[in-house]
Structure 1
């Protein structure tokens, strides 16, 4: 490749800056020289010419092509090499092992003292910082972009901003860098970002097409918004299911920023949004001081956008409620988070009611509000620092003065779920204690293996309150996302509020103790007299443990009914086991020595407790040789994917089958099903979706698949499609039917938005009562709490034996759910398993894997895989 001298490159850019960025657009035009403001600014006289321009590195003006993540990382590395103002930090890796780099930009003096600055930041939470000392410390501002991969203008603006701050000699920039450490993360979702960049570039022609119907503006499924497992990473700040989120939250707590700018794109018909959001939809746990600072910062954004004549809005549409997003997580962690939303070109340029939205102009707007963020934060430096000091000082005072009260927590899923909970707590810097010995409270035994204690008084007090919040009453019943996310329900926990355990019952590290083996051991020797090994199916890790046993050819049976036995190595004390519990006979085709070794290694890996049975005779219930112990067959699932399916829920099923259970899962787009031999698959999973493109031939093929012995596991709107195709007998009620529950009598036109809010189920936690004799419910807690976020239900049914779970009479646990829905759903089926010929249809009205944090209900899918076909 020919490389031009830098002065010629700059001359070329300057010439291009005097013209419309894309000549082809001038005819359709509605564009102007405003498209080149970024390039003009980067060529202004106060820029250090020794620092490589983005266009010099790329070989074309920024915005002419969509950047890839590797290009962004390489450019940041160039800046760090060329400018003493720039160093790099890491927020870890994405699922596809793309490195998430952040530019750390500050004065040369601050760069030399970063280790001291970070040491100071690590103490902020404890509220021990003196104001006199804090005033000598730099403000920390984190600007983070493009967490949705197809919202690309932010990442491009971040590159321009990084260059500007690395090279600008303007007095205000020098003052800013002396007082501030600026963190710039261009891409927070590298996997989705590259998926979109390739799409946009592949569909870009020489002539720019602004038609909304053009391929460039309509991505193929699943689009670039999501990460590798099709998760929305801007909903994962609390749940931390994905490595990019884990790295990002660790980065947040490492730097403990005062201000966080969260840059997004929205629908192309809109203009530009920045917070504050809707005043009545701010989470009650967010302080008024936080919102006051948001308002004061908004003045700087207004001025910046007014100067470039970009229209905008605030206090509408977007809220500040769910703490699992990039603009709200800071609010409950001692910082001020601000959301920015730019109308999206979803490519180079797209027509909208406000004129043509171009990538270049979008970059410029994001650059403008990035600058206003820095100027606003710098101007409000003392207020931001005082806000953070006051936030944590209040918690520190509560910590010193408070008594040792808090939440005593037991996980139904045992050690594996406690391990997942403590992992999340550790990442959020939440303090907790393990149990040194069992505690009995309210007739519940909290043991060392399945329980912890979270003290109420601690630096992260406010975040703890947010994680376990169960409110059901709200000033405004409209939610941009979910109205609740209570961890007690999500993780299937039993919780005692206000517990006061004695210090002698608490420990800093987990205490290794189990019926027969410790999850921390690497090798277990079972008694020679053992005839079988038994696994309680209530344990969360029992399902992936079972899958790996099957993978290694070990014979495993499951119990159709509860039983109890005297364990050979537990002093012959009776041990009770629920239906679904596993029996691993030691005499089988695989040698006994192999079985013992495989089980021992897997039990340690998955934190599963094993009981060795010394006799086939049980203390109660059927004996181990009974026909009520059924052989578990290997499974071969197929997951329906493609434009017919909800990408997020499809991704959650993929995540569970692949990452949690470790099953090879075949994914097939719905339009290809006709060409597939479905008999090769034991199960077909159908996530939520309209399923409009499935042909009549495929419908018949699916019907025959079930009749011949296959199992379909379907949820939400997939049930409506199955009913229409006569594959499902039970009648689901769709949103259109359920809307008739709401009276419109006497409503005025202005009441429409309130009615829409009441008719929407954005996310409420509801309670189910289980038929615990049904195989689909084996090992689950009863009642069962699920997240409901779709308007769908079954009517009452008189068909016997098909209802495995129904909504409780008083079903609302937390969040908002209209009274009309509460009355309609009460005592109606939530899980149905229908026989059809030799096969079954498992019908679920809710997504029981919600964002892969709903650990308390995920076992339903394991039961459908391993138990339902043989038990029915």
Structure 2
């Protein structure tokens, strides 16, 4: 009896020691709930948990551009954690993504929790610490039951760089006491804010495209696990009640009943917890499930139940006064989040069998029957397919290349009609008979069905149009010979080369030109097609001649090394052209190396600036000087030949605008996008104007006045829906091209622009309308009825020559979110080819 009592005491002592060893966030962090935690404090706390508990395991999966670690934490029973690899393989094997399966390990549910994709929504990361603690807390027996059948993968901060930027700012400006009044500076975040990552990209719009380092590294891990539930933890405006599922319409038609049903379960379960505390909340409003690159939709198209949780808090600082007279603190915010997130885990564990069955059915059944009209997609051979293949690989979408000829018929994306065509060797083939069938169809489907036009984001993204390739969607999956890759023959460079030819046809062309410029190599570009024996040089094609670069030692080896990334480069043995366009003639112009100034700072869109900055830093790796707007007076503009103005409100003085005008006339080039066009709109000496004639302006103003008169007595509650008739949340619009101008080189016969604003300008007089919308243009996605007709005969991209320089007008941003591949090439044209 004494031995039994003694043993019991030892066990009890061990239990209480374990409880004492694992500290709560409040015990570990002295300012928890009072001030934002430093990122290193968050890391230290999770290290404490992993050191003290057998219920949690860490995995570093990458690093940010600012070299902060990216981590996930696996939280489950010690037995499950000891068998993680077998559990992972079993999960993948059940949906056809692995051939390895361990019969001895039972089915486990995988719940992935993502916090703080937006850095200034910091209560997400704060709540992650509480969630982790409660899951492993030895005294919380309830959570241990959940972990018996559930693996929780917790990412406490998706965006450490943005989180740290915001946190450093908030701590720097914080006083000893909180200041809830809205006039205090802690509620007025400075440019560029902490929402975005290092390159000022919105990581929550990057799940599918994976343009950013954080997204690429995270999604590689995500696709190794393929969870059944994914929760994306956010904040919204501080005066907004908490949002949790069910989601709002539009909900994509491919999202299945079991996913909607679990949303309903969560709505009931979370509402009970919130009701008991008298916390305000809402469901089924604002946050829809349509655009495929969010933290709720991307998992949903991969079979999981994806969801967004939104706590009021953006701009709240440490404490803020709400409209109802109460205040909202950091502790309030992370407590609400922790309650909702833990309820998700609890609900998922209780419905594990239902969720596993639904997930596997979603993944396995879709590959057999498909969800849309098409069973196969064919992309005609094109150098831009290199980048498309990279995107497919990042998303684990299976594809192959044709290795035979076959007559076929399919929906042509460009003409929007059914057309006959021939499948030829090296065409890229994507079939839906694969585990990622639904995601494949979402990304390639020509027409997404929008059941509610009040969408939260862009409404079209068809990959063939984004990449500028000829694409076909086929209703039947055809059987023919394919191969896994395109063979690239190694080039043998002769001892004597007259010139190297680098085709201008994808982003790699621009990368190579960037490298050549930075090595002080002189480069020419073809204005028209030129023929040299079997080699045809296309408009825009680059030439590096020995004659232009006489000081280069070992010319052949030096240049072939610099251009080797462009696998389709070639060489020419003679400058004599068979169509009278010799290399020494006027057809080959010498390119100027850009000396670039990019403006940043208050008034400029953070993300649009970020898109340009990222393009220069990462896409083409080209040097750029970034100058804040408030320092522009200190800059000698004549030290540069290229000025990039991203979307924004530029508060230039009249004197500064006149200086820019003089600089342009003396050879300067301005690339102006979206809002920056207001600097030239209607200004003397520039061609930009919304209207072709005064009569057109009067007519438009009259129509607007008549519409305003009609709206005086219309239903107030329908105001928002009426407004969308004048808007374009994001649609693909067909543009005709002036293919003779360098701004259009390499784009194809037409350019499909992703339009995300309602700006429009008439076809310009005394300027070159390079890409323009014709009267009967084709489009994909939602365009408001009022704005749709106003886009007829308007320009999207134009060049306005002034003296020795020019202004390139970009009504749409070709760099939007970095994924519009043909837009990257268009911007490369503007930067490098337009002299």
Please report the TM-score for the alignment, with normalisation by the length of structure 1: 0.87
* Worse overlay, 182-191 or 402-411: 402-411
Q: 1:866 to 1:373 in 2, by over 3 A?
A: same
In 2: Cα distance, 1:741 partner to 1:640 partner: 37
Counterpart pick for 1:285 among 254, 259, 265: 254
1:330 aligns with 2:299: yes
Counterpart pick for 1:374 among 345, 363, 380: 345
In 2: Cα distance, 1:776 partner to 1:403 partner: 36
Superposition deviation, residue 741 in structure 1: 9.3
In 2: Cα distance, 1:611 partner to 1:511 partner: 16
What's the counterpart of residue 821 of structure 1?
787
What's the counterpart of residue 848 of structure 1?
814
SS in 2 for 1:126: coil
Unpaired stretches in structure 1, ≥5 consecutive residues: 1-43, 519-523, 567-572
Q: 1:511 to 1:149 in 2, by over 3 A?
A: same
Counterpart pick for 1:185 among 155, 177, 180: 155
1:740 aligns with 2:741: no
1:464 aligns with 2:440: yes
Q: 1:771 to 1:433 in 2, by over 3 A?
A: same
In 2: Cα distance, 1:859 partner to 1:403 partner: 31
In 2: Cα distance, 1:178 partner to 1:425 partner: 35
Could you tell me whether the CA contact under 8 Å between 2:111 and 2:228 is conserved in 1? yes
1:304 aligns with 2:273: yes
What's the counterpart of residue 584 of structure 1?
544
Superposition deviation, residue 850 in structure 1: 1.5
Counterpart pick for 2:224 among 254, 257, 260: 254
In 1: Cα distance, 2:497 partner to 2:100 partner: 64
SS in 2 for 1:454: strand
What's the counterpart of residue 19 of structure 1?
none
Could you tell me whether the CA contact under 8 Å between 1:144 and 1:187 is conserved in 2? yes
Superposition deviation, residue 46 in structure 1: 12
1:760 aligns with 2:727: yes
Could you tell me whether the CA contact under 8 Å between 2:444 and 2:462 is conserved in 1? yes
Could you tell me whether the CA contact under 8 Å between 1:121 and 1:255 is conserved in 2? yes
What's the counterpart of residue 830 of structure 2?
864
Could you tell me whether the CA contact under 8 Å between 1:411 and 1:491 is conserved in 2? no
Could you tell me whether the CA contact under 8 Å between 2:89 and 2:101 is conserved in 1? no
What's the counterpart of residue 704 of structure 1?
662
* Worse overlay, 836-845 or 592-601: 592-601
Could you tell me whether the CA contact under 8 Å between 1:143 and 1:260 is conserved in 2? yes
What's the counterpart of residue 761 of structure 2?
794
Could you tell me whether the CA contact under 8 Å between 2:86 and 2:101 is conserved in 1? no
1:811 aligns with 2:777: yes
Task: Give CA-to-partner distance per residue, 1:68-104, whole Å, 9 cap, x none.
Answer: 2222222212211110111012332222222111111
What's the counterpart of residue 264 of structure 2?
295
What's the counterpart of residue 429 of structure 2?
453
Could you tell me whether the CA contact under 8 Å between 1:210 and 1:356 is conserved in 2? yes
Superposition deviation, residue 701 in structure 1: 2.3
* Worse overlay, 123-132 or 677-686: 123-132
In 1: Cα distance, 2:760 partner to 2:369 partner: 45
In 1: Cα distance, 2:480 partner to 2:253 partner: 36
Counterpart pick for 2:283 among 300, 314, 319: 314
In 2: Cα distance, 1:166 partner to 1:549 partner: 56
In 2: Cα distance, 1:480 partner to 1:46 partner: 50
What's the counterpart of residue 415 of structure 2?
none
SS in 2 for 1:856: helix
Could you tell me whether the CA contact under 8 Å between 2:134 and 2:140 is conserved in 1? no
SS in 2 for 1:786: strand
Task: Give CA-to-partner distance per residue, 1:117-167, whole Å, 9 cap, x none.
Answer: 112122132299999979932211111111000000010010111122222
Could you tell me whether the CA contact under 8 Å between 1:470 and 1:813 is conserved in 2? no
Superposition deviation, residue 778 in structure 1: 1.6
Could you tell me whether the CA contact under 8 Å between 2:431 and 2:477 is conserved in 1? no
Q: 1:367 to 1:537 in 2, by over 3 A?
A: same
1:597 aligns with 2:557: yes
1:73 aligns with 2:43: yes
What's the counterpart of residue 626 of structure 1?
585
Could you tell me whether the CA contact under 8 Å between 2:367 and 2:436 is conserved in 1? no
Superposition deviation, residue 742 in structure 1: 9.0
What's the counterpart of residue 35 of structure 1?
none
Superposition deviation, residue 221 in structure 1: 1.0
Q: 1:597 to 1:135 in 2, by over 3 A?
A: closer
Task: Give CA-to-partner distance per residue, 1:245-279, whole Å, 9 cap, x none.
Answer: 1122122222211111111000112111112122x
Task: Give CA-to-partner distance per residue, 1:402-425, whole Å, 9 cap, x none.
Answer: 99962121364x0xx323222221
Superposition deviation, residue 625 in structure 1: 1.2
SS in 2 for 1:281: strand
1:731 aligns with 2:685: no
Counterpart pick for 2:524 among 544, 557, 579: 557
What's the counterpart of residue 352 of structure 1?
322
SS in 2 for 1:463: helix
Could you tell me whether the CA contact under 8 Å between 2:86 and 2:102 is conserved in 1? no
SS in 2 for 1:765: strand
Counterpart pick for 1:113 among 70, 76, 83: 83
Counterpart pick for 1:48 among 19, 37, 42: 19
What's the counterpart of residue 120 of structure 2?
150
1:659 aligns with 2:631: no
Q: 1:444 to 1:820 in 2, by over 3 A?
A: same
Superposition deviation, residue 800 in structure 1: 4.1
Could you tell me whether the CA contact under 8 Å between 1:764 and 1:812 is conserved in 2? no
What's the counterpart of residue 8 of structure 1?
none
Superposition deviation, residue 525 in structure 1: 3.5
Unpaired stretches in structure 2, ≥5 consecutive residues: 1-14, 409-418, 692-696
In 2: Cα distance, 1:820 partner to 1:411 partner: 38
Could you tell me whether the CA contact under 8 Å between 1:448 and 1:511 is conserved in 2? no
In 1: Cα distance, 2:438 partner to 2:754 partner: 23
In 2: Cα distance, 1:229 partner to 1:789 partner: 20
In 1: Cα distance, 2:189 partner to 2:424 partner: 51
Could you tell me whether the CA contact under 8 Å between 1:54 and 1:160 is conserved in 2? yes
Structural mapping, 1:510-549, within 5 Å: 510-513=486-489, 518=490, 524-528=491-495, 530-549=497-516
Could you tell me whether the CA contact under 8 Å between 2:245 and 2:308 is conserved in 1? yes
SS in 2 for 1:793: coil
Task: Give CA-to-partner distance per residue, 1:751-779, whole Å, 9 cap, x none.
Answer: 21211222221100001101011121122
What's the counterpart of residue 397 of structure 2?
430
1:722 aligns with 2:680: yes
Q: 1:70 to 1:577 in 2, by over 3 A?
A: same
SS in 1 for 2:166: helix
* Worse overlay, 228-237 or 670-679: 670-679
SS in 2 for 1:220: coil
Q: 1:845 to 1:439 in 2, by over 3 A?
A: farther
What's the counterpart of residue 166 of structure 1?
136
What's the counterpart of residue 494 of structure 1?
470
Structural mapping, 1:415-426, within 5 Å: 417-426=384-393
Counterpart pick for 1:616 among 571, 575, 587: 575
Q: 1:314 to 1:720 in 2, by over 3 A?
A: same
Q: 1:801 to 1:170 in 2, by over 3 A?
A: closer
Superposition deviation, residue 440 in structure 1: 7.3
Superposition deviation, residue 615 in structure 1: 1.9
In 1: Cα distance, 2:614 partner to 2:269 partner: 42
In 2: Cα distance, 1:472 partner to 1:164 partner: 41
Q: 1:506 to 1:90 in 2, by over 3 A?
A: same
Could you tell me whether the CA contact under 8 Å between 1:738 and 1:791 is conserved in 2? no
Could you tell me whether the CA contact under 8 Å between 2:497 and 2:556 is conserved in 1? no
| Number of corresponding residues | 799
Could you tell me whether the CA contact under 8 Å between 2:600 and 2:609 is conserved in 1? yes
